[in-house]
């Protein structure tokens, strides 16, 4: 699943009275030794605005506002109305002020929350957000990511110290070489052309000099893996995974190819083809030859696309588990020399006769054999070298990158690349995620947050336990297994302790070297390092609490692992709009609580339910209970399948998004119930300034919706709908909120209203 403000930004309210909007943001008022900062004043004024509904005749003068505000500050209240005085206490911590400002900025109070709660909670965010030219969208997640990126920039741009740990030094050197555009341009494409030559050559460049007698698709895969470290997925995806039916062991997985083509509609295919041709021409190919030869290569990739399993078909995990031995491969798919193929990829390991090899799509391998026999070698070679080249473009010259941006614009609508420093910080922090994550935690993470987050995880998981215990459609045996699974679920919060151990960090990176003067060579070294590490684990015992696996901490995201039966909540997401220890818990339970509940529920979604408490693929459901579960899931599929994104006129795919939709619905319910339990234990919390009319329960829902405030370019939204397993953000609010009776109760939504439909869907 993919999931911040630290610095509050104020956008002007369009209906804000002239007398208020004309105030300068940096204006301050001093009285009786008290300094009133602009942020506090903005909240007070926005409160007055909402109370007076912008009736300028009823507003007091500026001096009266100032004098009155000072008096109210002395008593720590913004309101002296007796109706509110006894039952309402307000929170004025900096965290509360930031939270209130952010929420007020996002809300559109002209919308009835019972009609469209997403528009109510996020309407002004959508209306007044301008998407940066280098972004396909502007979301709560992208805001948090930008804040995180600035912190990581501070880390990688610091001068290298003489006693710097090697991993940190290499991360800084990678950033430095990435920023050296002058060196990259000076080198040009000569090194890349030399590399392509060593891989067998790109026929479209070599024209008549290319000899197909020396080419086989298998040799191309061997060379790319050996020279560059790429795990070549252009024909057959090869990886080392945890055995789905025995999560204590690892296995080889052979899966269908990953494609460069993002869709098969005419516009997408034409844009992709033009991109292929233009890149080849920039490398020196004759345009007429490139058009002819790469059209054949494109047709081959389209034929590959047609033999792939559809996304809907791949949701049945059990159908993707087809274990074989090497003898089975050699018998079933005789045109491929499997012993040689696997040995070359695993080098220095070799495949054994008893190794488990999981074939995800046996039919794909059969169809691939036929397709390869019918396809000329030159077409295959143009395809594989094009795919490798396309993956390298980002690291090369500006001419190539400019053409790449034009192609990206067609897919996402963004018209500029992000600033070079952002791109280079992202590359450095991703490629050295352990080293950079270690420094991020040491410098920016508050240890108390880890404790608070763990408390929330335990409370929300307890609510899942209650749901499993009390539902009326599970038989006793299935319920017992479900409860065992919930109790066995482990949590990885913020970061593992080993991440702060310099000895362990140095040991992990000891076989890696970075060429500070050659950016692309460093990228290849890193690629080979990671690939070799992943493949080397084939026969190593599985450690489900392995610190390396759970050390990607400087990231705005959260995860559930089927084979571990665990959730991971990285340090990076425990900030901003998602979490703050300096604001009421209803804001945290609505935001990060929603995220936590979502991940927990993945253990019981349409795919997660098929794994037992140990993370093994095992059918532990009684037939009748399974039938009832599928009936409930069908309701979710139909509900979301009937939603249409009005901005682009596309319907959602209820089948492809069912797992995430189940997780959203269950996670939100658990987070709300957990907050109610916390509130009963600790008492009613204070309200936020400027939001006196909203109860803690109502603010829970507002906070949860604010997680999904977003604005997308039409091109990016289309891609989200067609390719993403998550529903667009609007429907991640509309769907689950309208299914929960507690929401309708808290906002008094009449039965039959948009947010309180008569027919509701509920799995958990």
pLDDT, tens digit, 9 for 90 and up, residues 692-748? 999 999 999 999 999 999 999 999 999 999 999 999 999 999 999 999 999 999 999
Average pLDDT over residues 306-318: 93
**Two tokens, residue 739:** 């299914």
Quote the pLDDT of residue 683.
93
Q: In 264-273, which positions are buried (b, 16+ CB within 10 angstroms) versus exposed (e)? A: eeeebbebbb
Average pLDDT taken over every residue of the chain? 88
Quote the pLDDT of residue 266.
87
- Reported pTM: 0.86
Active site residue 463: no
Q: Answer whether 672's CB lies under 8 Å from 28's CB.
A: no
Q: Answer whether 429's CB lies under 8 Å from 170's CB.
A: no
Quote the pLDDT of residue 249.
95
Active-site option among 664, 685, 720, 746? 664
Q: Answer whether 487's CB lies under 8 Å from 465's CB.
A: yes
pLDDT of residue 58 exceeding 90: no
Quote the pLDDT of residue 510.
93
Number of residues that this document lists for the chain:
764
pLDDT of residue 34 exceeding 70: no
Instruction: Give 51: exposed, middle or buried? Use CB within 10 Å, 0-12, 13-18, 19+.
Output: middle
Active-site option among 243, 255, 278, 599? 599
Quote the pLDDT of residue 232.
84
Quote the pLDDT of residue 18.
30
Q: What percent of the chain has pLDDT over 90?
A: 84
Average pLDDT over residues 94-120: 96
Q: Answer whether 625's CB lies under 8 Å from 587's CB.
A: no
Say how far apart CA 327 and CA 324 lie, in whole Å: 8
Give the closest residue to 275 by CA, choosing from 395, 407, 398.
407
Least confident of 258-272, 329-343, 633-647, 718-732: 258-272
CA distances from 709 to 57, 99, 439, 728 (A): 34, 14, 30, 11
Active site residue 664: yes
Quote the pLDDT of residue 516.
83
Of residues 514 and 47, which shows the higher confidence score?
A: 514
Quote the pLDDT of residue 76.
31
Average pLDDT over residues 277-286: 97
pLDDT of residue 279 exceeding 70: yes
Q: Where are the alpha helices (DSSP H) in 445-580?
A: 447-470, 476-488, 502-508, 519-536
DSSP 284: T
Give the closest residue to 597 by CA, choosing from 486, 728, 708, 720.
486
Q: How confident is the model at residue 393 (pLDDT cuts 50, 70, 90)?
A: very high
pLDDT of residue 40 exceeding 90: no
Quote the pLDDT of residue 636.
98
**Two tokens, residue 574:** 């425990």
Average pLDDT over residues 357-365: 97
DSSP 501: -
Say how far apart CA 514 and CA 516 lie, in whole Å: 6
Our separate counts of H helices and E strands in the chain read 33, 13
Say how far apart CA 65 and CA 46 lie, in whole Å: 12
Least confident of 12-21, 115-124, 422-431, 643-652: 12-21
Q: How confident is the model at residue 64 (pLDDT cuts 50, 70, 90)?
A: very low
Say how far apart CA 60 and CA 43 lie, in whole Å: 16
pLDDT of residue 57 exceeding 50: no
Q: How confident is the model at residue 265 (pLDDT cuts 50, 70, 90)?
A: confident
Average pLDDT over residues 156-162: 93
Average pLDDT over residues 566-570: 96
pLDDT of residue 62 exceeding 90: no
pLDDT of residue 84 exceeding 60: no
Quote the pLDDT of residue 102.
95
pLDDT of residue 63 exceeding 80: no
Of residues 18 and 588, which shows the higher confidence score?
A: 588
Q: How confident is the model at residue 53 (pLDDT cuts 50, 70, 90)?
A: very low
Quote the pLDDT of residue 79.
35
Quote the pLDDT of residue 457.
96
């Amino acid at each position: 699943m993919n999931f911040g403000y630290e610095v509050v930004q104020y956008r002007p309210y369009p209906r804000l009275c002239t007398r208020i909007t004309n105030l300068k943001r940096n204006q301050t008022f001093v009285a009786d030794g008290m300094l009133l900062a602009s942020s506090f004043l903005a909240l007070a004024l926005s409160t007055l605005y909402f109370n007076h509904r912008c009736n300028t005749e009823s507003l007091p003068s500026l001096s009266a506002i100032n004098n009155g505000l000072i008096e109210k500050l002395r008593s720590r209240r913004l309101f002296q109305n007796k109706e509110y005085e006894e039952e309402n206490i307000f929170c004025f911590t900096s965290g509360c002020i930031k939270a209130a400002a952010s929420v007020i900025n996002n809300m559109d109070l002209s919308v009835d929350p019972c009609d469209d709660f997403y528009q109510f909670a996020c309407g002004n965010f959508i209306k007044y957000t301008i998407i940066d030219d280098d972004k396909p969208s502007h979301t709560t997640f992208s805001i948090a990511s930008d804040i995180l990126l600035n912190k990581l920039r501070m880390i990688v741009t610091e001068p290298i110290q003489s006693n710097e740990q090697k991993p940190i030094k290499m991360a800084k050197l990678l950033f430095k070489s990435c920023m050296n555009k002058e060196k990259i341009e000076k080198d040009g494409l000569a090194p890349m052309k030399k590399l392509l030559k060593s891989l067998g050559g790109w026929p479209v460049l070599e024209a008549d000099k290319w000899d197909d007698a020396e080419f086989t698709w298998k040799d191309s895969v061997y060379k790319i893996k050996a020279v560059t470290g790429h795990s070549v997925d252009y024909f057959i995806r090869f990886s080392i995974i945890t055995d789905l039916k025995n999560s204590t062991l690892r296995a080889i997985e052979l899966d269908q190819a990953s494609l460069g083509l993002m869709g098969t509609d005419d516009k997408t295919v034409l844009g992709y083809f033009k991109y292929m041709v233009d890149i080849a021409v920039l490398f020196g190919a004759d345009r007429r030859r490139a058009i002819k030869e790469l059209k054949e290569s494109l047709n081959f990739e389209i034929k590959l696309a047609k033999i792939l399993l559809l996304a809907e078909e791949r949701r049945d995990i059990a159908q993707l588990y087809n274990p074989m031995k090497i003898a089975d491969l050699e018998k079933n798919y005789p045109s491929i020399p499997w012993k040689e193929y696997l040995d070359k990829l695993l080098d220095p390991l070799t495949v054994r006769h008893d190794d488990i090899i999981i074939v995800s799509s046996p039919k794909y391998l059969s169809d691939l054999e036929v397709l390869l026999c019918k396809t000329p070698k030159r077409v295959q070679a143009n395809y594989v070298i094009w795919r490798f080249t396309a993956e390298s473009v980002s690291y090369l010259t500006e001419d190539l990158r400019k053409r790449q941006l034009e192609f990206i614009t067609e897919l996402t609508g963004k018209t500029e690349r992000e600033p070079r420093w952002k791109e280079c910080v992202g590359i450095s922090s991703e490629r050295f995620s352990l080293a950079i994550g270690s420094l991020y935690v040491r410098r920016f993470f508050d240890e108390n947050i880890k404790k608070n987050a763990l408390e929330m995880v335990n409370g929300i998981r307890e609510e899942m336990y209650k749901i499993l215990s009390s539902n009326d459609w599970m038989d006793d045996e299935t319920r017992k297994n479900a409860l065992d699974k919930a109790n066995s679920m482990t949590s990885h919060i913020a970061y593992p302790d080993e991440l702060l151990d310099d000895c362990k960090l140095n040991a992990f990176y000891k076989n890696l070297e970075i060429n500070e003067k050659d950016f692309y060579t460093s990228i290849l070294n890193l690629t080979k390092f990671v690939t070799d590490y992943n493949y080397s684990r084939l026969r190593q015992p599985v450690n489900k609490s392995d610190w390396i696996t759970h050390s990607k901490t400087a990231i705005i995201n959260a995860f559930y692992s089927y084979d571990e039966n665990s959730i991971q909540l990285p340090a990076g997401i425990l900030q901003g709009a998602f979490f703050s220890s300096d604001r009421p818990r209803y804001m945290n339970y609505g935001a990060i609580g929603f995220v936590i509940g979502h991940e927990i529920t993945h253990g019981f979604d349409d795919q997660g339910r098929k794994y037992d408490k140990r993370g093994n693929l095992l059918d532990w459901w009684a037939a009748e209970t399974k039938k009832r579960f599928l009936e409930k899931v069908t309701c979710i599929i139909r509900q979301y399948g009937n939603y249409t994104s009005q901005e682009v006129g596309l319907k959602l795919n209820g089948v492809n998004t069912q797992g995430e939709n189940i997780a959203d619905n269950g996670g939100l319910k658990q987070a709300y119930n957990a907050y109610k339990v916390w509130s009963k234990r600790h008492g009613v919390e204070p309200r936020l300034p400027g939001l006196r009319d909203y109860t803690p329960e109502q603010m829970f829902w507002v906070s949860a919706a604010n997680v999904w405030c977003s604005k997308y370019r039409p091109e990016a939204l289309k891609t989200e709908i067609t390719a993403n397993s998550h529903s667009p953000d609007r429907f991640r609010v509309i769907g689950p909120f309208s299914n929960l009776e507690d929401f309708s109760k808290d906002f008094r939504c009449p039965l039959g209203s948009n947010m309180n439909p008569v027919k509701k869907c509920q799995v958990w």
